[in-house]
Amino acid sequence: MKQHLHALAIIAWGAAFSALPVNASWASVELAQKKACLACHAIQHHRVGPAYNLVAQRYGSRPDAVEYLSNSIKNGGGGRWAMGVMPRQNLTDDEARQLAEWILSLAN
């Protein structure tokens, strides 16, 4: 039974990341996992928060997109997606910027 559960866990993990774009930075994915971003967000579908590809499409054309998203990621916010309010996150400026750049790369 434990072997079956272990196999199912591996399959589920693989399925979760099989939708990652080729240009996805694994360091950024790992940071998003470590900081629990993926508990509320997914790359291509809504969860508690908006899908990252939709965030990238909405904000990617802004000249200040990286700074805007970095600030939103670090300081939280709400009301932009008709969803719950994202709380302030415990991130460094560099971590917030890395996540913002990664999210913006998911626009396709």
Contacts of 16 (CB under 8 A, 6+ apart): none
The pTM score is: 0.74
Low-confidence stretches of the chain (pLDDT < 70) are: 1-24
Q: Residue 87: what pLDDT?
A: 87
Q: Residue 96: what pLDDT?
A: 95
Q: Residue 18: what pLDDT?
A: 45
**Which residues make beta-bridge pairs with 86?**
77
Domains of the chain: 2-104 (1.10.760.10)
- HEC string of 30-81 equals HHHHHCCHHHCCCCCCCCCCCCHHHHHHHHCCCCCHHHHHHHHHHHCECCCC
Q: Residue 107: what pLDDT?
A: 85
Question: pLDDT for 13-40, tens place per residue?
Answer: 444 444 555 455 778 889 999 999 999 9
